[in-house]
Chains A and B, each alone.
Chain A
Amino acid sequence: QSALTQPASVSGSPGQSITVSCTGTSSDVAGYNYVSWYQQHPGKAPKLMIYEVSNRPSGVSDRFSGSKSGNAASLTISGLQAEDEADYYCVSYSSSNTPSVFGTGTRVTVL
């Protein structure tokens, strides 16, 4: 099972909006509404930011939103803040022999 494809890096200025893409296949992203997004700061454990494509866990800022179209999911961060600088990973359920498929990861930089 191949990893989901994410851009290596995305950057933006404070206050701007950025979008991180996550591209999969019909066996994962396109086939199920079980895409989640995680934020990871250096030396820290990942933190769930979005689940089931577009739902935010309690305590996660509403500046974070998720969506999906076909085989591509997206994470949008609006009103970019310095604290948003981190690595972001998408994960999807997959009907392949690997039920949890991770994305390649995206480094978000706040300029």
Chain B
Amino acid sequence: QVQLQESGPGLVKPSQTLSLTCTVSGGSITNGGYFWSWIRQHPGKGLEWIGYIYFDGGTRYNPSLKSQLSISIDTSKNQFSLTLSSVTAADTAVYYCARLGAYSSPKYAMDVWGQGTTLTVSS
């Protein structure tokens, strides 16, 4: 059974660069049937799609975040990561990683989620 676990610093200062990692267990990140995704939720708000990466390194990003966003994958560690530069208080949120069906069912649905990691941007 595939499980995802996010890890991150918890607190970063404004203008710094944030890095979060999602570790995949119980399955291989090189499974071509899935996109590996990041989603965030601002306090008391709805869900926002950040972007995803495929095992071959191909990515899609939310255009509103594209200038400060990078998603990478490390197949040797079965991990994928999010890097967000020049963070502000508006980036304070719970960040989730999730598995998104790509070329097999559940197509374009997120069937496995991490528990989420809270990020606070504050000086």
Q: Which of B49, B96, B105 has the most CB of A within 10 A?
A: B49
A-facing mask of B74-110, CB < 8 A → 1, else 0?
A: 0000000000000000000000100011000111111
B26 surroundings in chain A (CB, below 8 A): none
Is B105 in contact with A51, judged by CB distance below 8 angstroms? Answer: yes
A36 surroundings in chain B (CB, below 8 A): 106, 108-110
Is A57 in contact with B106, judged by CB distance below 8 angstroms? Answer: yes
In the complex, whether B33 has a CB less than 8 A from a CB of chain A is no
In this complex, what residue of A is CB-closest to B64?
Answer: A98
Q: Is the interface on chain B under 10, 10 to 19, 20 to 34, or 35 or more residues? A: 20 to 34
Q: Is the interface on chain A under 10, 10 to 19, 20 to 34, or 35 or more residues? A: 20 to 34
Tell me how far the C-beta of B69 lies from the nearest C-beta in chain A, rounded to whole angstroms: 13
Asked, given contacts A46-B47, A98-B49, A102-B49, whether A91 binds B109 with beta carbons under 8 Å apart, the answer is: yes
In the complex, whether A30 has a CB less than 8 A from a CB of chain B is no
Is A97 in contact with B111, judged by CB distance below 8 angstroms? Answer: no
In the complex, whether A27 has a CB less than 8 A from a CB of chain B is no
Asked, given contacts A34-B108, A51-B101, A51-B109, whether A45 binds B49 with beta carbons under 8 Å apart, the answer is: no
In this complex, what residue of B is CB-closest to A49?
Answer: B109
B63 surroundings in chain A (CB, below 8 A): 1, 97-98
In the complex, whether B14 has a CB less than 8 A from a CB of chain A is no
